[in-house]
Amino acid sequence: MNAATMVIETRECFHCHKFDRLEVPIYGYQRWKSGELIQNAFPNLSASDRELLISGIHSKCWDEAFSKDSDREG
């Protein structure tokens, strides 16, 4: 992994309405913003961290919002 990194502030999570920050390689960020698929630009990030970059949703919030139990509510 490229040693040069940057910190990105994510979008607001639609579930908890909080922002987050994630440290990523600058080279990967440039590749992603230039159109590279996120999984190719950031192969060392977890799928949940890549989703955090794309949508702003936290892994725990995803589980809470889309769990089978939440389908039974309301």
Q: What is the pLDDT of residues 20-58, one digit of tens each?
A: 999 999 999 999 999 999 999 999 999 999 999 999 999
Task: Please name which of 20, 14, 54, 25 lies closest in space to residue 37, comparing C-alpha atoms.
Answer: 54
Contacts 24+ apart (CB under 8 A), 59-64: 61/13, 61/14, 61/15, 61/16, 62/15, 64/15
User: At 71, is the pLDDT very low, low, confident or very high (cuts 50, 70, 90)?
Assistant: low
Give the per-residue pLDDT at 55: 95
Average pLDDT of span 9-27 = 97
pLDDT of residue 3: 73
Taking the whole predicted model, whether its pTM rises above 0.85 is answered as: no
Report the 10 Å Cβ neighbour count for 21: 9
